[in-house]
C-alpha cells in the first residue's frame, strides 16, 4: 500500500469533467491513505476562444486574469489545482523541432503553477502520477524532480488522429524516461514494454456496487413486452467501436431472439438495417442508476467490439458490470479480454458470436452465475491502487 505519501496527479481530464474518469477514481483512492494534489490541465489558447461561453472555461479565464492559481480542497487529503496560466495550442504543428520548443515553454508555464501549489501545501518527496498527458506534462519529471514518476496508459491514444501527429514519437519517449509505466490492460502493458521494461499491468478498478441483481426491484416499462431470450448491449452505439455486422447477423439469423440495445446512437446506427428488424429494440439513453434494471432482464449480455488500433487494447469496463450481475457474457476476443477468458465467451467472427450466444443460453447455471459475480467484484479501485503500489516497489527493488 501507498501510505502517508504526497502524490501529484496530472492527466488529460480535469476534475470537473462530467464523464467518468479512471484518473479521478484512482486519485480518490490514493487520497484514502495519502495527500493528493489533482492538477487540472491548463487552459489552452484555442479552447479559451472556442469554448469561451462554457462555464468551465469562464471560470478558468477568471483564474488566469487573477494571476493566482486556485486550490480547492475536495476532501481531507485531496486538493484540486486550477492553474492560472494559458498554454499555446500547438498540436497542429508538423515540425518536431518547433513543436518541442513550444512544448517546453508550455511545460514550464504549467510546472510553475504546480510548484506554487506544492509550496503552499508543503508537499515533500512526492510522486507524480501522469494519466496519459504525453504533451503538456512531457518535461515535468525534469522540472519538478519527483521521487518517482509514473506514466499511466489506459487507451491507445496514439491511434487517434489528435494524438497521432506528435504522439507516436513523444509518448514512447515519455514512457522511456518515466521510472515506470502502469497500464489497465495487458495489451497496453505489452506495448509500453517496447519503450520501458518497467511496464506493468495493474488491472482496472470499477464500482459495481449498483450492479447487484438483489437490488433490482422493478421492471422498466419499455422492457415489459419484449419476449425472451433477450440478447442485450448497454453503452454508446458507435460504429467506430461496435461491429454492426455482428448485430445484424444475430438478429437476422435468430428472429426468435430479442436484440435489445440500450444507449445513444450515432448516425451509422440510426441508418442501419437493424431499425427494420422487428426483433431489434432500440431503447435509447438511460440514467446510470436505471441500467441495472435493464441488464437484469438480459439472458445474455454482449460486447461486439469492432477491432481497430483504437479499440484493441481497451479494458472493457462494461464487462465487469455484466459479470457483477452474473450475466452470461459474449465479447470480442482481444488480448485485453484475456483476463476475462475463464468467465466469458469470446468470439472473433459473427458465426462464432452465434455459437457463443447459443452456448451462453444453455450453460447459465447458478454456479456460473456466482462465479461471475465473485470475479467481477475483485476489480475494485482499492485493488487497482494496490497493484500500482506493488509495481512501484518492484522498480525500487531493481534499482
**pLDDT (tens digit per residue) in 339-366:** 899 999 999 999 999 999 999 999 999 9
Residue 84 has pLDDT above 90, yes or no: yes
Same fold for the pair 6-205+380-398 and 213-376:
yes
Span 224-250, average pLDDT? 95
Residue 19 has pLDDT above 80, yes or no: no
Span 305-324, average pLDDT? 86
At residue 399, the pLDDT reads: 64
Asked whether 70 and 63 are in contact (CB, 8 A), the reply is yes
Q: Cα–Cα distance between 399 and 392 in angstroms, integer?
A: 11
At residue 100, the pLDDT reads: 97
Select from 29, 4, 75 the least CA-distant residue to 387: 29
Summarize pLDDT for 22-37 with one digit per residue, the tens.
999 999 999 999 999 9
C-alpha cell of residue 339: 483476463
Backbone angles phi, psi at 115, to 5 degrees: -60, -40
Residue 303 has pLDDT above 80, yes or no: yes
Asked whether 140 and 148 are in contact (CB, 8 A), the reply is no
Span 118-137, average pLDDT? 97
Residue 18 has pLDDT above 80, yes or no: no
Domain ranges of the chain: 6-205+380-398, 213-376
Summarize pLDDT for 42-79 with one digit per residue, the tens.
999 998 888 888 888 999 999 999 999 999 999 999 99
CATH of segment(s) 213-376: 3.40.50.2000
CATH H-level, domain 6-205+380-398: superfamily: Glycogen Phosphorylase B; (3.40.50.2000)
Average model confidence (pLDDT) across the chain = 94
Q: Which residue has the higher pLDDT, 144 or 214?
A: 144
Select from 296, 267, 260, 298 the least CA-distant residue to 281: 260
Q: How confident is the model at residue 227 (pLDDT cuts 50, 70, 90)?
A: very high
Most confidently predicted of 53-57, 188-192, 314-318? 188-192
At residue 125, the pLDDT reads: 96
At residue 367, the pLDDT reads: 95
Summarize pLDDT for 249-271 with one digit per residue, the tens.
999 999 999 999 999 999 999 99
Amino acid at each position: 500500500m501507498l501510505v502517508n505519501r504526497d502524490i501529484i496527479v496530472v492527466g488529460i481530464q480535469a476534475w470537473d469533467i462530467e464523464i467518468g474518469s479512471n484518473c479521478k477514481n484512482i486519485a480518490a483512492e490514493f487520497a484514502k491513505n495519502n495527500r493528493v494534489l489533482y492538477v487540472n490541465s491548463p487552459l489552452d489558447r484555442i479552447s479559451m476562444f472556442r469554448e469561451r461561453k462554457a462555464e468551465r472555461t469562464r471560470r478558468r479565464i477568471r483564474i488566469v486574469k487573477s494571476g493566482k492559481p486556485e486550490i480547492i480542497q475536495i476532501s481531507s487529503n485531496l486538493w484540486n489545482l486550477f492553474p492560472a496560466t494559458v498554454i499555446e495550442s500547438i498540436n497542429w504543428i508538423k515540425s518536431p523541432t518547433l513543436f518541442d520548443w513550444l512544448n517546453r515553454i508550455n511545460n514550464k508555464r504549467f510546472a510553475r503553477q504546480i510548484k506554487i501549489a506544492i509550496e503552499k501545501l508543503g508537499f515533500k518527496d512526492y510522486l507524480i502520477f501522469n494519466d496519459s498527458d504525453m504533451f503538456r506534462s512531457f518535461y515535468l519529471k525534469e522540472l519538478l524532480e519527483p521521487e518517482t514518476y509514473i506514466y499511466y496508459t489506459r487507451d491507445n491514444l496514439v491511434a487517434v488522429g489528435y494524438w497521432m501527429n506528435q504522439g507516436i514519437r513523444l509518448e514512447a519517449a515519455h514512457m522511456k524516461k518515466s521510472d515506470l509505466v502502469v497500464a489497465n490492460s495487458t495489451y497496453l502493458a505489452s506495448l509500453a514494454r517496447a519503450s520501458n521494461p518497467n511496464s506493468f499491468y495493474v488491472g482496472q478498478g470499477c464500482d459495481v456496487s449498483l450492479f447487484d441483481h438483489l437490488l433490482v426491484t422493478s421492471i422498466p416499462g419499455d422492457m415489459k413486452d419484449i419476449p425472451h431470450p433477450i440478447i442485450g448491449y448497454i453503452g454508446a452505439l458507435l460504429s467506430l467501436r461496435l461491429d454492426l455486422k455482428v448485430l445484424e447477423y444475430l438478429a437476422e439469423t435468430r428472429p426468435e431472439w430479442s436484440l435489445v440495445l440500450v444507449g445513444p446512437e450515432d448516425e451509422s446506427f440510426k441508418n442501419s438495417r437493424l431499425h427494420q428488424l422487428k426483433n431489434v429494440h432500440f431503447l435509447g439513453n438511460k440514467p446510470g442508476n436505471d441500467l441495472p434494471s435493464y441488464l437484469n432482464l438480459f439472458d445474455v449480455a454482449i460486447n461486439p467490439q469492432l477491432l481497430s488500433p483504437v479499440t484493441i487494447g481497451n479494458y472493457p469496463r462494461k464487462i465487469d458490470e455484466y459479470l457483477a450481475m452474473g450475466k452470461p457474457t459474449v465479447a470480442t476476443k482481444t488480448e485485453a479480454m484475456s483476463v476475462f477468458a475463464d468467465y466469458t465467451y469470446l468470439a472473433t467472427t459473427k458465426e462464432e458470436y452465434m455459437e457463443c450466444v447459443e452456448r451462453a443460453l444453455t450453460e447459465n447455471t447458478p454456479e456460473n452465475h456466482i462465479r461471475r459475480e465473485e470475479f467481477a467484484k475483485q476489480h475494485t479501485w482499492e485493488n487497482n491502487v494496490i497493484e500500482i503500489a506493488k509495481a512501484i516497489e518492484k522498480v525500487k527493488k531493481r534499482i
